[in-house]
Structure 1
Amino acid sequence: MVIGLHVSSIVIGLHVSSIVIGLRVSIIVIGLRVSSIVFGLHVSSIVIGIYVSSIIVGLQVSSIVIGLHKSSNVSGLHMVSIVIGLHVCSIVNGLHKSSIVIGLHVSIIVIGLRVSSIVIGLHEASIVIGLHVFCIVIGLHVSIIVIGLRVSSIVIGLHETIIVIGLHESSIVIGPHVSSIVIGLRVSSIVFGLHVSSIVIGLLVSSIVIGLHESSIVIGLHESSIVIGPYVSIIVIGLHVSSIVIGLPESIIVIGLHVASIGIGLHEPIIVIGLHVSSIVIVPYVSSIVIGLHGSSIVIGLHVFSIVIGLHVSIIVIGLRVSSIVIGLHVSSIVIGLH
């Protein structure tokens, strides 16, 4: 049970039930086995019951309910795809079962590879990728980066950019203002070019590129490579697994030789680890703890857990096995517990 008084609330019930009450903005609930109930008083509420039932009550804006086994509207590639765009546009690609999107202002893109995907973007854009079960993310202001090597990836950026890399299942990118590029070499890829040009080379299956302003080049030699250059240019070479770079004003170059490389440059060239602007931590086995007071914090726990506390801007946590906990006091907080 979750009660969010001002911004958002997210609840995931894997077996029995999920209940959420949001007083101001939005609520998302996914019940995979039994039931889900949502009450949104102001903006929107979305519920997806995959097996039994779903109930939604929206008092002012909109409400959508989809039962995959009972009844559903069909307009997709394989099973079910449903899109509702209240203002501009919405795009949905359901590869296996279903995808649902609700965009209140601009645009939303959802790709569900196995079971389901749900996204709610209140202002600009939102992207969700469900590789096996579900993925949920809400970013309020700046940017979010998530890398799921085996299971899932989730990102929602309301203002600037977002990047998600799934090395084995899928890759999805949406940049509402600047640019985003994703290359998934195994399963699927999607591209949206708004302004200039984007170039992507996928050696095995497919490639996806989104260039909003200038240009981006990516070369994946074995697994995948991802680059995002909002202003100038970015080049990334991933020799074995993956490489991720985000440069906001100038340029960034990252080379990951074996596992992964992550760089976030907010003002000048990158860094892979910035002591003042951003913080990046990768712990392959046990735990990671990061506290960023002003800029940003990123934590990746590959086996056990990750904990992050950011007081001002943004926090990202990925727990691939057990749990993840995040507390953001001002802007945004993201928690992903896969198991």
Structure 2
Amino acid sequence: MGPDQTEPGLPADPVGRRVSCDGERATVLYVGPVPPTAGEKEPGFSVSGQILECAPMWPQLEDLCVEDNNITELQRPDGVLQSLKSLNVSCNPLDQRSVLSLAALPRKEILGGINYNFFFWLGLSSVGSQTSLFPALKNLNLDNNNISEWRVVDELAKLPSLAQFSCSGNPLVSSDGNPKTAMQMLIAKLGQVVLLNRNILRPEDRRGAELDYIKMFGEEWLKAGGASQLSTQFSSQHPRYQRLISKYGAPEEGELKKQEPFALKNQLLRINFVFPDDADRKPIEKKLPASMVVQKVKGLLYRLLKVPAADLKLTYTCNQKVGTEFEIDSDLKTLQFYSIEDGDQVLVRWS
């Protein structure tokens, strides 16, 4: 079949089209002979894998998106996809260990849609040192991954080229339950990141976060041995702390911040509810606990608006990124989970 011909019944240019085959959705990447198989691959072929069979035909491919293709396994791309810079595998039920097969790709700069669990299989390196895996990875998106442990962040800090990182919608909390404190900790732990949650970090932002981090854990640092003989436990929990001490100097006793008990349940957020589809309705300001689940927020709005909770759709905008709406898509998550901060707007719509 010539290059300008297609199978009967196929569109003239099927490449790039979304198709459905036996109930599975896919994107047509190629139509034509695929050695060593006979015949042609038709639209709707199983992406999970036919990818490596087609890869020799894309020696210069830099951007690959296989989102929502029911891919469960990724195989090591030996000799192919060596020009790949960006990979998006969102909404695929991946066996996370198979993601390690991509670690040796020399030019991959952007990785999106990966579940964070795969980093626990990396065996990255010892405390505070960098890993040789994912050497070119600059941009990583781990939004909405239910990350709650700071050791995940400490592992990510070992990636040598990581400069842009997004982890919105993850319940990472500080001991005081304040989202702003948690953001300071993220900045201090990720020393090479210049774009965090899509916000540019200015030099003064980093300096302030790192100094606060030193003071925040200064008392714990002293009890763990300080500069003389620091305990292994403290070093594993705060791998960048000694480096920050070398950068700014040890904290004075009067500067130390005493760690308060976890107070997330007691923290109140000032939230402005606005109604973009109802111009005559005035905004409503409420102070709500950061631990309040969205289901209860909708119950409150039902009492105020007399609109069934099931009909309500919520989004929010934050002070750091004015004009961008973020979806609140789970009734069982807390306001804290969505990183909603004091003074943010929640937009309320209903059908």
- TM-score over 0.5 (shorter chain): no
Greater relative contact order, per chain length (Cα 8 Å cut-off, separation 6+): 2
Q: Which has the larger radius of gyration?
A: 2
Structure with the larger strand share: 1
TM-score (norm 2): 0.29
TM-score (norm 1): 0.29
